[in-house]
Amino acid sequence: MDGFLSLISDRFFEGFSLLIAVSALIYAALAHRVAKQALATAKTSALATLKFKAHEGRERAEQSFHSLQSACHDTRSQWDLHHHRHSPKLGSLHSPQDDTHHISEIERQGHTLLRPLDLSLSELGTMDATELEDYIQRAHRIAARIDQLRFELSPPKQLFA
DSSP string, 32-50: HHHHHHHHHHHHHHHHHHH
pTM above 0.75, yes or no: no
- The 3-state DSSP composition of the chain as helix, strand, coil percent (nearest 5) reads 85, 0, 15
Tens digit of each residue's pLDDT (9 = 90 or more) over 102-150: 899 999 999 999 998 887 767 878 899 999 999 999 999 999 999 999 9
Query: How far is residue 111's CA from residue 72's CA, in Å, rounded to a whole number?
Result: 12
Tens digit of each residue's pLDDT (9 = 90 or more) over 13-58: 788 889 999 999 999 999 999 999 999 999 999 999 999 999 999 9
What is the pLDDT at residue 160? 60
Query: How far is residue 20's CA from residue 26's CA, in Å, rounded to a whole number?
Result: 10
What is the pLDDT at residue 151? 93
Separate counts of helices (H) and strands (E) for the chain: 4, 0
What is the pLDDT at residue 67? 96
What is the pLDDT at residue 148? 96
- Spatial CA neighbour of 52 closest among 68, 44, 113, 114: 44
Is the pLDDT score of 5 beyond 80? Answer: no
